[in-house]
Amino acid sequence: MAASIADRLVLAAEVADALRDGRPVVALESTLISHGLPYPQNVEVARASEDAVRAAGAVPATVAIRGGRLLVGLASEDLEALANAPVGTVRKAARPTLAAALADEGWAATTVSATMIAAHAAGVRVFATGGIGGVHRGALGIPGGSGTPTLDVSSDLEELARTPMAVVCAGPKAILDVPVTLEYLETRGVPVVAIGQAELPGFYARSSGIAAPMTVEDVAAAAEIAALHLGLGLGSAILLCAPVPADAALPEDVARGAIEQAIAEAEAGAVRGPALTPWLLSRVADLTEGASIRANTALIVNDARVAGEIAAHLTAHVP
């Protein structure tokens, strides 16, 4: 019999110690490093995220794949190697591509879905990302899309439905069909909670124009509802959405203009599949002359801080 997930896991010593002692740990994903941001901003944000988790009193566990192993907690030189790997040499591993990534000798970065699989198997309960994947515009062939359904729905959504963790993000990525993504999460039993505002955070922007399904006042209240949800044993994750810090946010109209242009260009150029999200993020960065990268990096580090605080709260209050 081939090795199970547990056999594939390699926990960093610091992560293993913290989990054994019941201390807070936060998983961090790596696709945003390899496919979401350019070098050197990607390694800077990865390090800043780890620092933010530590400052909140938790241990960071950045997840990635190398040589057939699911690494939970990366050494500093590994983080640098992953971030600085030649373009095109790092695979993007999600649930459907996890086995292929593990069969390979090289690096693979883990998306939200693959990170959740590894983190949950390791016993980590809290995870921070930038923005979750979701239902792409035109996935259902609705107006604004090409007319033909692409059915491009991120495996992140199915993972959130089936893996119990507290996941912190700055909202679904704004390149998506956000209202349809919320409907999908509702159907699949994933609570979506905005922290400190009535509107769902809009990823690059603080606002999205869409009411959040649920709002809590602050991070402590977010940790309480997360503990309650996870304690019920329903099997699904809870999605906690923290708005991008105000000083790095993109004005909503600037973000919308760039996103709409990028999506139109992607359709015209037939960019699709796993390449679509990285392509759109990079094109939005060009169109905003880097302002979207400032927003994206700031929101990722902020999510890591919030996740650290939530993890600390969970270990203090939920055995």
Applying CB under 5 A, the residues found at the interface with Mn ion are 152
Residue among 24, 243, 274, 308 that touches ligand PSU (CB under 6 A): 274
**Would you say 50 and 25 are in contact if contact means Cβ atoms under 8 Å apart?**
no
Q: Which does 302 bind (CB under 5 to 8 A by kind): Mn ion, ligand PSU, none?
A: none
The interface region with ligand PSU, picked from 19-27, 43-51, 77-85, 124-132 by CB under 6 A, is 124-132
Number of residues near ligand PSU (by CB under 6 A): 19
The yes or no reply on residue 288 touching ligand PSU (CB under 6 A) is: no
173 flagged as catalytic = yes
**Would you say 109 and 274 are in contact if contact means Cβ atoms under 8 Å apart?**
no
Q: Which residue number, 154 or 296, has a Cβ lying nearer to Mn ion?
A: 154
Q: Which residue number, 49 or 115, has a Cβ lying nearer to Mn ion?
A: 115
Q: How far is the CB of 51 from Mn ion (least distance, A)?
A: 31
End-to-end CA gap in the chain: 34
Q: Which does 138 bind (CB under 5 to 8 A by kind): Mn ion, ligand PSU, none?
A: none
d(CA 178, CA 184): 10
Residue among 24, 131, 172, 191 that touches ligand PSU (CB under 6 A): 131
Q: Which residues pair with 25 in a beta bridge?
A: 59
The yes or no reply on residue 283 touching ligand PSU (CB under 6 A) is: no
Task: Determine the angle formed by the axes of helices 291-317 and 219-231, rounding to 10 degrees.
Answer: 60
Q: Which of the following is catalytic: 50, 159, 173, 309?
A: 173
Kindly identify the residues of this chain, within the stretch 100-119, that bind ligand PSU according to CB under 6 A: 111-112
The interface region with ligand PSU, picked from 11-19, 75-83, 205-213, 273-281 by CB under 6 A, is 273-281
Q: How far is the CB of 281 from ligand PSU (least distance, A)?
A: 6
Q: How far is the CB of 176 from ligand PSU (least distance, A)?
A: 8
Q: How far is the CB of 92 from Mn ion (least distance, A)?
A: 10
92 flagged as catalytic = no
Q: Which residue number, 131 or 191, has a Cβ lying nearer to ligand PSU?
A: 131
The yes or no reply on residue 29 touching ligand PSU (CB under 6 A) is: yes
β-strand 59-66 against 69-72: which pairing, if any?
antiparallel
**Known catalytic residues?**
29, 173
Binding site for ligand PSU (CB under 6 A): 29, 31-32, 35-36, 111-112, 129-131, 133, 154-156, 274, 277, 281, 296, 300
